[in-house]
Amino acid sequence: MKRSKSSNAWLQEHVNDHYVHMAQKDGYRARAAYKLLEINEKDKLIRAGTVLADLGSAPGSWSQVAARIVGDHGRVFALDILPMDPVAGVDFIQGDFREDEVLAQFVTLLGGRELDLVISDMAPNISGMSSIDQARSFLLNELALEFARDHLKPGGHFLVKVFQGSEFQAYMKAMRELFAEVVTRKPKASRDRSTEVYLLGKGRR
């Protein structure tokens, strides 16, 4: 089967990607690890002893980063619709975050703990129709914010991937109602052409 020009271009970019090579060298499952590492370097979200939830965790690079930093006294709880190979120190549930039953399972896993941090790198399956993809993406973002509202301790933080679109300002407003400060982060490991940015809610009210 012949590859399309766009898939060839993606493959070429991937093969030559600095962060892909670094991930292979450093033992991370995906280049996305460096997005979290850069944000954490700046904002100190994850520390030894942090208890956090990683939403949309597969293939596991954010969970790897988090588990390495939180150490033995912290906890990482992860959830994804896709399977994820085990990560030492991470409790994982596979399931669809949009389903109440899956969310209930995940909440049971938390065991009544209030979280210091919620990180969400969730994204929908891309259909190629931007209006549909944006709507699906913001539904996931809204559910992640709802989860953060219900499970973050006062003063806790929330990091979420968003794609800039028509819902962006309304979502920022909702975050500002819940957090003392909301800032935008665009890590160097985000590809330039991508409309993704990360919103960071600091200090849950």
Catalytic residue list: 161
85 assigned to a ligand binding site: no
- CB under 8 Å to 175, separation ≥6 — which residues? 145, 158, 182, 199, 201
Q: What is the C-alpha to C-alpha distance for residues 8 and 10, in angstroms, rounded to an integer?
A: 5
60 assigned to a ligand binding site: yes
62 assigned to a ligand binding site: yes
Termini Cα distance of the chain:
54
Tell me the one-letter amino acid at 187: P
96 assigned to a ligand binding site: yes
133 assigned to a ligand binding site: no
Tell me the one-letter amino acid at 111: G
**In this structure, how many other beta carbons lie within 10 angstroms of the beta carbon of residue 37?**
21
Cα 76 to Cα 39, 87, 102: the distances in Å are 18, 10, 17
Cα 46 to Cα 7, 10, 171, 186: the distances in Å are 35, 32, 24, 18
Q: Which residues are annotated as a binding site?
A: 60, 62, 80, 96, 121
Q: Which residues are annotated as a binding site for S-adenosyl-L-methionine?
A: 60, 62, 80, 96, 121
